[in-house]
């Protein structure tokens, strides 16, 4: 009986690809986990911890970008979470919205991460109103409105930008809720 010609080479190639895919998935999980932790630190006002976490997060995301070649499908959510945490951090620290180019993010992860950012901004608005800091609440509302208004007219197939329409709807609902909250607080 004869074996498959070149099977050892095929197996070696596939074993290497499996290891590379596993590494991308591991780094993706680490990025997602640390992004969530960093956002929690920012909401809690622990900015020194958040700053250290952001440095580690940026390093992990850079490692992921280097490792993901050919396995980008498995890392999209990690990049999206990185964008969300990074833009939130920059809004809190510098009162501006970072661009996709600045974050070295692809268009789809950037857009999806920015859409998710509206939920974090709504939470900041709620906290600011609770502490009667209307100036901060209005600033965060301005960012929310800017994000929603910039993306309002966009329509994409789910296969191109997964979950985009759902995220648009969620952003609209959060924006409406924030507007009501601000109106009640100003009355």
Domain positions in the chain are 9-97, 106-187
The 8 Å CB, 24+ separation contacts for 164-172 are 164/111, 164/112, 164/115, 167/112, 167/115, 167/116, 168/115, 170/115, 170/118, 170/119, 171/115, 171/118, 171/144, 171/147, 172/148
Pick the CATH number of 9-97 from 1.20.1580.10, 3.40.190.10, 1.10.287.90, 1.20.58.190: 1.20.58.190
pLDDT of residue 4: 87
Averaged pLDDT, 89-111? 96
Are the beta carbons of 121 and 150 closer than 8 angstroms?
Answer: no
Averaged pLDDT, 99-128? 96
Mean pLDDT across the chain: 95
Q: Per residue in 25-80, pLDDT tens?
A: 999 999 999 999 999 999 999 999 999 999 999 999 999 999 998 888 899 999 99
CATH topology of 9-97 equal to that of 106-187?
Answer: yes
**Is the pTM value of this prediction over 0.95?**
no
d(CA 62, CA 131): 37
Averaged pLDDT, 21-27? 94
d(CA 149, CA 28): 30
Confidence band (pLDDT; 50, 70, 90) for 162? very high
Q: 134-159: buried (b, 16+ CB within 10 Å) or exposed (e) per residue?
A: eebbebbbebbbebbeebeeeeeeee
CATH number attached to the domain at 106-187: 1.20.58.2140
Give the CB-side neighbour count of residue 129, counting CA atoms within 13 A.
20
Give, for 34, the enclosing helix (H) or strand (E).
helix 7-43
d(CA 179, CA 87): 22
Instruction: Give, in order, the Cα–Cα distances in Å from 19 to each of 14, 31, 54, 150, 153.
Output: 9, 18, 27, 40, 42
d(CA 157, CA 176): 25
pLDDT of residue 5: 86
Q: At what angle do helices 164-186 and 107-130 cross, to 10 degrees?
A: 20
pLDDT of residue 187: 78
The 8 Å CB, 24+ separation contacts for 135-138 are 137/181, 137/182, 137/185, 138/182
Confidence band (pLDDT; 50, 70, 90) for 150? very high
């Amino acid at each position: 009986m004869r074996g498959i010609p070149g099977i050892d080479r095929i197996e070696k190639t596939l074993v290497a690809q499996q290891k590379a895919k596993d590494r991308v998935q591991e780094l993706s999980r680490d990025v997602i986990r640390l992004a969530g932790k960093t956002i929690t630190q920012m909401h809690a006002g622990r900015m020194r911890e958040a700053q250290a976490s952001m440095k580690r997060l940026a390093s992990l995301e850079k490692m992921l970008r280097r490792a993901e070649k050919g396995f980008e499908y498995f890392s999209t959510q990690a990049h999206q979470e990185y964008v969300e945490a990074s833009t939130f951090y920059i809004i809190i620290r510098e009162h501006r919205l970072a661009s996709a180019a600045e974050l070295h993010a692809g268009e789809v992860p950037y857009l999806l991460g920015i859409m998710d950012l509206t939920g974090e901004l709504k939470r900041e608005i709620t906290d600011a109103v609770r502490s009667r800091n209307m100036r901060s609440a209005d600033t965060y509302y301005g960012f929310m409105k800017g994000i929603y208004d910039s993306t309002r007219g966009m329509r994409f197939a789910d296969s191109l930008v997964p979950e985009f329409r759902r995220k648009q709807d969620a952003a609209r609902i959060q924006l409406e809720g924030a507007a009501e909250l601000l109106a009640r607080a100003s009355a």
